[in-house]
Amino acid sequence: MSAIDPALIDKLEKLPAQRQAEVRDFVEFLAAREERAAAGARLGKALEQLDGLALPTLSDEEIEAEIQAARRERASRRA
């Protein structure tokens, strides 16, 4: 992380509280957007790695069996 420009800090400190809150909201928005972009990049890389494994495609029946098994396991943990 780079240092924040002191001139920017000075300008922020001179803003009224309401404007500082708007800046804070905008900075939070930008940070969330960066996090989403990083998560998307990680997901893309993971999908490329999965694709590289060349695993056989699951049939609809196999997918349904996996779903039912996961539901049974979750239900048994609640009981």
Tens digit of each residue's pLDDT (9 = 90 or more) over 26-54:
999 999 999 999 999 999 999 999 999 99
pLDDT at residue 2, rounded to an integer: 82
Is 30 a domain residue? Answer: yes
Q: How far apart are CA 63 and CA 50, in angstroms?
A: 17
For the chain, the average pLDDT equals 95
46-55 b/e (C-beta count within 10 Å ≥ 16 → b): eeeeeeeeee
pLDDT at residue 1, rounded to an integer: 65
Is this model's pTM higher than 0.85 or not?
Answer: no
pLDDT, mean of residues 16-34: 98
Q: How many domains does the chain have?
A: 1
Is 45 a domain residue? Answer: yes
Note down the domain range covering 68: 6-78
Is 1 a domain residue? Answer: no
pLDDT at residue 79, rounded to an integer: 80
